[in-house]
Amino acid sequence: MPSVVVLDYGSGNLRSAQRALEHAGATVEVTADPDAVMAADGLVVPGVGAFAACMEGLRAVDAPKLVGRRLAGARPVLGICVGMQVLFETGVEHGIETPGLAEWPGVVERLHADVLPHMGWNTVAAPEGSRMFDGIRDEYFYFVHSYGVLDWLLPPSDRMTAPGVTWTTYGAPFVSAVENGPLWATQFHPEKSGDAGAQLLRNWLGTLG
């Protein structure tokens, strides 16, 4: 069974992520211990609430360094919800800009929709050949968010392969998932997305080795 650490930095929803990953076939530890984070086959960065608050918690446990070290060694990382958003350069909430982990260029901003938050089930438009959505391309996933990346094209880099970008429309299109070498992320909550979410987690676990 692959070993996974769910990063404990003060964010909520840790135990539901732990249970979903265990159900998908992983041994899971919820911790911020640097040795455990680096030793695990996979690292999950969850996140709920405000971008700035999540970044404060991540910095407190030295997550920018830990995530960067894992990715430099091609060690898999999965970001979920705000845990996806913080992988971008900047988050803008209520006119305040907060630096993110800057693994990807791009800005997280308020969704262009009449009703917020975007809460409930929605489909995704995954790219051809997506490993993340293998077997679940036509399924629905559960979203709870008011912010996202609305306009983004990541150029290829020396460190990671060109990304597979998945889009969802709510008012306007936004990035709902990214596959970028060892770094995967979803704006939706796979741990709350029933059988489809469980299969996505199994697809991710299948990349750990």
Nearest to 10 by CA among 51, 60, 44: 60
Range list of H helices, 89-207: 194-205
CA 107 to centroid of chain Cα atoms: 15
Query: Do 181 and 201 form a contact (C-beta atoms < 8 A)?
Result: no
> One of 103, 145, 179, 189 is an active-site residue; which one?
189
Q: Is 112 a known active-site residue?
A: no
3-state secondary structure of 10: coil
Q: How many CB atoms lie within 10 A of CB 11?
A: 22
> One of 103, 109, 179, 191 is an active-site residue; which one?
191
Q: Is 118 a known active-site residue?
A: no
3-state secondary structure of 36: helix
Q: Is 139 a known active-site residue?
A: no
Edge-to-edge, what's the strand order for the sheet holding 172-180?
A: 27-31, 3-7, 42-45, 77-80, 183-186, 172-180, 164-170
> One of 81, 103, 118, 145 is an active-site residue; which one?
81
| CA–CA gap between residue 127 and residue 132 (Å, rounded) | 10
Which amino acids are annotated catalytic?
81, 189, 191
